[in-house]
Structure 1
């Protein structure tokens, strides 16, 4: 996906990951991340972020987490889902459109900054459809042994080009450009569940 001529920021899959490849622990636990990573670790990433597109499952997990001490302002939040809640949630826009339209809507709201994609299923769908420019991973020094994998089964091969790695405290940030490829054919472009 090229952003050079569009005036829009990049589409970035952004996630923290245990050394053994999990982005969430058993029962979708994510509290282990905050033992190592805080908002000040890589402030330039936050400053480059204009909006977030999140899968429904990731959104529900974040709503259950009590992290009052974490102030994460990545701009407008969009949740792609087949099942929007009956009651609106302050600061969240629920989208029930197709994947490409959801990415375009969230990118437009990012105001020229980057769009972060959060959630294993949603990120895998975006990667499969060729909608992602970069993958940014915070490798956290912990082995979880079980949980939610970095990507969902059936993603297929995605070639990446490493272009940056940095350390902040015990966390290593790795950045990769997604290599040009044709979007998967026959894959559904449906909202995350």
Structure 2
């Protein structure tokens, strides 16, 4: 049994990253991820996911990538933003509350499964406020040279404890507990 399936859900920063530390390339390009990673590589991660909390920028990039339909496959989707759209989006709940309330709302919707955090700024804020239990990183065999870094500047030191690493094809998955 996978550790993600045991016990109540956790708050997990989940991201794909180039070997040189970028989660998106220039102009927020993320299509390179799909050259290496699909949902079949580590199916237990999606099975353990009950909801997603996404930053507004990441949500907008995803909508562009999927022609307006952000295709998240991990339960209810919550987008934390200061600027909710005028029109609602199918399958997406926009939150304008504070960070702690957003995490609590999305975590409750996860129904005992994991809450996945997507987006560099949002993940950095959650890490900085001690709201994250785990960091899961898919390291992809590509060097991007520029783009969006794994975390925003000013994050500060966060100590992690490695507890799992596996390979599926060309992708290496690394998992860490956040030391609190």
TM-score scaled by structure 1?
Answer: 0.87
**Aligned residue for 1:175?**
175
Distance apart, 1:67 and its partner CA: 7.5
2:114 corresponds to 1:128: no
Alignment partner of 2:137: what SS?
strand
Structure 1 runs (4+) deviating above 2 angstroms are none
2:162 corresponds to 1:155: no
Distance apart, 1:8 and its partner CA: 3.9
**Aligned residue for 2:43?**
43
- Structure 1: 5+ residue runs without aligned partners? 1-6, 181-193
CA contact (8 A) 1:39 1:72 kept: no
CA contact (8 A) 1:8 1:107 kept: no
Residues paired across the two proteins, number: 173
Alignment partner of 1:54: what SS?
strand
Alignment partner of 2:131: what SS?
coil
**Aligned residue for 2:3?**
none
Q: Distance in 2 between matches of 1:37 and 1:73?
A: 14
Q: Distance in 2 between matches of 1:49 and 1:24?
A: 22
**Aligned residue for 2:60?**
60
- Structure 2: 5+ residue runs without aligned partners? 1-6
RMSD: 1.5
Distance apart, 1:73 and its partner CA: 1.7
